[in-house]
């Protein structure tokens, strides 16, 4: 019996990981419900706690990640089933709160108006080939805006003194205005000017060797005393409790190891500060080095545009 319960706990752990993925959430909830109804009534207190924990994790993930009604309907049924089975009053109260929140969320969705934008407030159309369109005029693409600005700047006459040409002061003012506009759009212009590099590659998983060496700390009373009362794992959003295992990244942020590994496999960055870990992909590491050098070039181009603006002020 003990071996069977260990297998069920492993299944619950795997299903808990699947809850974090949008495409597998509903299927994972359905599997948890099936196991719950089949095994919870005769389960040991330890296994019952595992069931309760994974149901609470499903509630947390729903509140922090998903809004689609299908996910909340699935969660609501899971909360109903669990609330009927648990015996502890605190657990029943928690599940009743989850049920109420799910019902409120679904009620809000059902009561949303079909068209929240009235006809009176709808943006007017624009003329296109002699006809007035129904939709508002779309914004010009960035490349066209940049092209127009740079073309206008190129047509400005060479700077002359106001004594030689009284109109030169107007030209200088126009140049200053154009340079200000160019500076305002600098973040968009500079990448277009220097856009010889290929698009950023997908970030490979973190190096297994690097991840294996990340230190793991057990949460103690002293550890909790140094943190806020609401300290949590930023990935699963669960509050830290005594004896939790926490793995520390080089940026000093800490997470549950079962949460951190799949996150690093998919994103390879700290969920809080976006610090990247080293990968085993030589091509990607070379690209990062080239990108650092290109960033220095972008900064140089930005400074050049700003210095040009100051000359006309």
Read off the pLDDT of residues 295-313 as tens digits, 9 standing for 90 and up. 777 676 666 555 555 554 5
Tokens standing for residue 31: 């599997």
Between 82-86, 119-123, 286-290, the lowest mean confidence (pLDDT) is in 119-123
Confidence (pLDDT) at 154: 57
What average pLDDT score do residues 217-223 get?
86
Confidence (pLDDT) at 65: 80
* pLDDT for 121 beyond 60: no
Q: Across the strands, what pairs with 206? A: 279
β-pairing, 216-218 vs 127-128, is: unpaired
Confidence (pLDDT) at 23: 87
* 3-state SS assignment for residue 132: strand
Per-residue pLDDT tens digits for 230-253: 788 888 888 888 888 889 999 988
Per-residue pLDDT tens digits for 134-174: 455 556 555 556 656 666 655 555 444 444 454 455 556 66
Q: How many CB atoms lie within 10 A of CB 170?
A: 11
- Are 121 and 87 a contacting pair, CB within 8 Å? no
Per-residue pLDDT tens digits for 65-118: 888 888 999 999 999 999 999 999 999 999 999 999 999 988 888 876 654 444
Confidence (pLDDT) at 212: 86
How far apart CA 295 and CA 290 sit, in angstroms, is 9
Confidence (pLDDT) at 196: 46
**Which residues lie closer than 8 Å to 35 by C-beta, 6 or more apart?**
8, 11, 12, 15, 51
* Residue 29 binned pLDDT confidence (cut-offs 50, 70, 90): very high
What average pLDDT score do residues 126-135 get?
47
Confidence (pLDDT) at 26: 92
Confidence (pLDDT) at 299: 72
Q: Say which residue, 182 or 93, is predicted with more confidence.
A: 93
What average pLDDT score do residues 44-59 get?
91
């Amino acid at each position: 019996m003990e071996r069977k319960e260990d297998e069920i706990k492993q299944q619950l752990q795997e299903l808990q990981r699947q809850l974090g993925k949008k495409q597998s959430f509903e299927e994972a909830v359905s599997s948890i419900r099936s196991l719950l109804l089949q095994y919870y009534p005769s389960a040991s207190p330890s296994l019952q706690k595992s069931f309760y924990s994974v149901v609470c994790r499903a509630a947390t993930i729903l509140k922090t990640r998903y809004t689609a009604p299908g996910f909340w309907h699935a969660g609501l049924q899971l909360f109903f089933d669990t609330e009927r089975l648990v015996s502890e009053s605190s657990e029943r109260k928690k599940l009743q709160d989850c049920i109420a929140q799910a019902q409120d969320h679904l009620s809000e969705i059902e009561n949303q108006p079909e068209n929240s934008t009235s006809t009176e407030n709808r943006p007017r159309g624009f003329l296109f080939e002699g006809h007035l369109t129904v939709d508002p005029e779309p914004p010009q693409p960035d490349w066209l805006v940049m092209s127009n600005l740079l073309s206008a700047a190129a047509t400005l006459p060479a700077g002359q003194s106001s004594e030689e040409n009284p109109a030169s002061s107007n030209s200088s003012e126009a140049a200053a205005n154009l340079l200000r506009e160019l500076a305002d759009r600098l973040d968009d212009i500079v990448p277009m000017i220097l856009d010889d590099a290929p698009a950023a590659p997908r970030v490979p998983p973190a190096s297994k060797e690097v991840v294996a060496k990340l230190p793991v700390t057990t949460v103690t009373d002293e550890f909790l005393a140094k943190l806020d009362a609401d300290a949590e794992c930023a990935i699963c959003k669960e509050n830290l409790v005594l004896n939790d295992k926490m793995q520390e990244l080089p940026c000093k942020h800490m997470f549950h190891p079962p949460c951190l590994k799949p996150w690093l496999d998919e994103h390879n960055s700290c969920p809080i500060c976006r610090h990247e870990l080293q990968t085993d992909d030589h091509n990607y590491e070379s690209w990062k080095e080239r990108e650092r050098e290109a960033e220095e070039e972008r900064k140089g181009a930005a400074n050049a545009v700003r210095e040009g603006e100051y000359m006309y002020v």
